[in-house]
Amino acid sequence: MTDSILLSTKKILGIDADYTAFDIDIITHINSAFSTLTELGIGPVNGFMILDELTTWDQFLQYDARMNAVKTYVYLRVRLLFDPPMTSYLITSLDEQRKELEWRLNVIREGDEYPLDELRPPVVEPLAFNGGL
Amino acid sequence: MIRTYTELSRLNSFEDRFKYLVLRGEIGAATFGFDRYINQQFYVSAQWKHIRHHVIARDNGCDLGVQGFDIYHRLVIHHMNPMTVEDISHGESRIIDPEYLITTTHRTHNAIHFGNEKLLPQALRDRKRGDTKLW
């Protein structure tokens, strides 16, 4: 099974790996999903993007198996933007699945220690006034 | 006979899936009867609404999960093995387990319960020269 982010997303969308006419569209939507994930605190702190089929899921997930739902999340985001279903039933259900995964990934993220101390707001010592004495 | 999604998904055609699911109940036979309020409470529960979205997404919003049979009207999630009052009151997990649920339409759902194949969606017929003549 391919670990390429672009190729695996194309596979699940039903597009052959060799058919590249929509690659720019799909890459744009994948990067949009990564942007949201960065805001949720998932993945590299400074953001993440793909340019072609060479970028792999391991580069994003850093071998963290708990985050595998990210793959489905990215698919759902891309499907709803690139190839939205014809029926409102399916649109609603896919969107509900997307919201659930977003919430679950956030739960995992909030259970972790914050990785970079330098991004924490500085601790400000409270000023003590002695009334001018 | 316990029907499961795993077995159902091995059948490719709509007709085969229908034959697997058909129950052939009797019209007018009591199901929930005066206990229907229990069933109605279940269908508005958060758990049911949650699993309903999961099943629709899994089946791609198609009747019996068969591609090409997209549902535009009156979607129903069918319990492959009919649910009873005891299942709800005892909190049986199988009534919210996707393994025993399938997406369908109101008409197909009636066809499954009453064994009426005339209610099933019909395949499109090939057009022929002159087939639009009214008389």
Q: Tens digit of pLDDT for each residue in B58-112?
A: 999 999 999 989 999 999 999 999 888 888 888 888 899 999 999 999 999 999 9
How close A18 comes to chain B (CA, Å)?
A: 24
Q: Is the pLDDT score of A78 beyond 60?
A: yes
Residues of chain A with Cβ-Cβ distance to B54 below 8 Å are: 93, 97
A19 touching B, CB under 8 A?
no
DSSP string, B54-110: HHHHHTTTBGGG-TT-B--S-EEEEESS---HHHHHTT-GGGG-GGGEEEEEHHHHH
A2 touching B, CB under 8 A?
no
Residues of chain A with Cβ-Cβ distance to B57 below 8 Å are: 90, 93-94, 96-97
At residue B31, the pLDDT reads 67
Yes or no: say if A78 and A29 are a contact pair by the CB < 8 Å rule. yes
* Beta-carbon separation of B75 and A89 below 8 A: yes
Q: Is the pLDDT score of A116 beyond 90?
A: no
The pTM of the full predicted model, rounded to 2 decimals, is: 0.80
Q: Is the pLDDT score of A118 beyond 60?
A: no
Residues of chain A with Cβ-Cβ distance to B70 below 8 Å are: 86-87, 90
Mean pLDDT of B41-64: 93
At residue B28, the pLDDT reads 60
How close B53 comes to chain A (CA, Å)?
A: 5
Residues of chain B with Cβ-Cβ distance to A87 below 8 Å are: 61, 70-72
DSSP string, A70-107: HHHHHHHHHHHHHS--SSHHHHHHHHHHHHHHHHHHHH
Integer-rounded Cα radius of gyration of chain A = 20
Q: Tens digit of pLDDT for each residue in A80-107?
A: 999 999 999 999 999 999 999 999 999 9
Angle at A96 between CA A91 and CA A101, to 5 degrees: 125
At residue A122, the pLDDT reads 66
Q: Tens digit of pLDDT for each residue in A5-32?
A: 999 999 999 999 999 999 999 999 999 9
Yes or no: say if B22 and B64 are a contact pair by the CB < 8 Å rule. no
Distances (CA, A) of A89 to A81, B23, B49: 16, 26, 13
At residue A92, the pLDDT reads 95
Q: Which residues, other chains included, contact B7 with Cβ-Cβ below 8 Å and sequence gap of 6+?
A: B20
* Beta-carbon separation of A94 and B71 below 8 A: no
How close B47 comes to chain A (CA, Å)?
A: 13
Tell me the backbone φ, ψ of residue B76, rounded to 5 degrees. -130, 140
| Sole residue written with tokens 């309903």 | B52
Q: Is the pLDDT score of A1 beyond 60?
A: no
At residue B92, the pLDDT reads 86
At residue A98, the pLDDT reads 96
Burial A79-90 (b: 16+ CB within 10 A, else e): bbebeebebebb
At residue B30, the pLDDT reads 59
At residue B88, the pLDDT reads 86
Helix, strand, coil tally for chain A in percent (to 5): 55, 0, 40
* Beta-carbon separation of A89 and B61 below 8 A: yes
Model confidence at B1, pLDDT cuts 50, 70, 90, reads confident
